[in-house]
Amino acid sequence: MPQQAPASLPQAHVLPLGDCAASVVFGARIAPAVHARVAAFCAALAAAPIDGVFDGGVSEWAPAFASATVWYDPDRIGFEALAARLAALAESPAPATAPGALFEIPFCAEGDFAPDLGEVAALRGLTPEAWLDRFTGLEFEVYMLGFLPGFAYLGVLPAALSAPRLTTPRTSVPAGSVAIADGMCAAYPSASPGGWRLIGRTPAVLFDVADARRPALLAPGDRVRWRAVSRADHEALERRWRAAGIAADELRGG
């Protein structure tokens, strides 16, 4: 018998997403307990004998905050059969999985690299130094990728450090900007409009289209710690990494 979801969390439900994808929904909020179920479901998919369980019809899947999208071949398996099997898998005990890779990513929070840091800290009754001290003591998990190629949504930023999005988004946010908003953290892989609060900038290459092996530095399930560096160190690292591309091995923590 499938294991039932805890009473405090609803059972997963499966919705059609066009004619060749399905959305497996675990909740309607960003929360560690909800996302843990998403991650467990994706791990169960990875461990499942796809040919036997899904008649060879499932091609790939991707996690989001509170759901997972599953792409399938409707000529191999129909939606109703797929939905029943996905729902059963979603409520089954999750296989044991190793945690994602840990990345220690440098960032500089000086001057124009961190235009919103003072206001963010003041909102929480902290000095910028005290806010940064708490922020760099956190370990984030990559919940999902979206918005831009390589843009990793990191959770969860405690309410005591969080701030709302800007009322008026910026028309251009520099590449590498480290930002927070509404309990989440992220870094912009490329220049883009954006409404998150900018609290620093990283020299790390977050997305490299020329890197066929690993175009995005971070993947769902990975973990991130932010390490504050001086502007001089930031500039030196930026020169080196922009020439070399993504330096995943160099950024991996212990």
pTM above 0.85, yes or no: yes
CATH class of 13-90: alpha beta
Question: Would you state the pLDDT for residue 80?
Answer: 96
Residues 158 and 175: their CA atoms lie apart, in Å, by 25
Q: Cβ neighbours of residue 145 under 8 Å, at least 6 residues apart?
A: 62, 151, 152, 153, 216, 218, 219, 220
Question: Would you state the pLDDT for residue 252?
Answer: 85
Task: Report residue 16: phi and psi, to 5°.
Answer: -70, 145
Residues 173 and 195: their CA atoms lie apart, in Å, by 9
Residues 213 and 46: their CA atoms lie apart, in Å, by 20
Question: Would you state the pLDDT for residue 254?
Answer: 56
Residues 28 and 248: their CA atoms lie apart, in Å, by 33
Give the other-Cβ count within 10 Å of 56's Cβ: 13
| Cβ pair 38, 86 in contact under 8 A | no
Query: Residue 67, by phi and psi: left (phi above 0), alpha (psi -120 to 50) or beta?
Result: beta
Q: Cβ neighbours of residue 46 under 8 Å, at least 6 residues apart?
A: none
Residues 88 and 72: their CA atoms lie apart, in Å, by 17
Measure Cα distances from 249 to 149, 238, 246 in Å: 20, 16, 9
DSSP secondary structure, 158-215, as one string: -TTT--PPPSS-EEEE-TTEEEEETTEEEE-SS-EEE-SEEEEE--S--B-TT-SS-S
Task: Report residue 240: phi and psi, to 5°.
Answer: -70, -45
Is the preceding peptide bond at 156 cis, omega within 30 degrees of 0?
A: yes
Question: Would you state the pLDDT for residue 247?
Answer: 76
Residues 32 and 61: their CA atoms lie apart, in Å, by 20
The pLDDT profile of the chain, 254 residues, written as one tens digit per residue, is: 333 444 455 789 999 999 999 999 999 888 899 999 999 999 999 888 888 888 889 989 999 999 999 999 999 999 999 999 999 999 887 766 777 899 999 999 999 999 999 999 999 999 999 999 999 999 999 999 999 999 999 999 999 999 999 999 999 999 999 999 999 999 999 999 999 999 999 999 999 998 878 899 999 999 999 999 999 999 999 999 988 777 778 888 75
CA-angle at 32, arms to 26 and 34, nearest 5°: 10
Question: Would you state the pLDDT for residue 53?
Answer: 83
Question: Would you state the pLDDT for residue 250?
Answer: 83
Residues 142 and 39: their CA atoms lie apart, in Å, by 11
CATH homologous superfamily of 102-251: Cyclophilin-like (2.40.100.10)
Per-domain boundaries in the chain: 13-90, 102-251
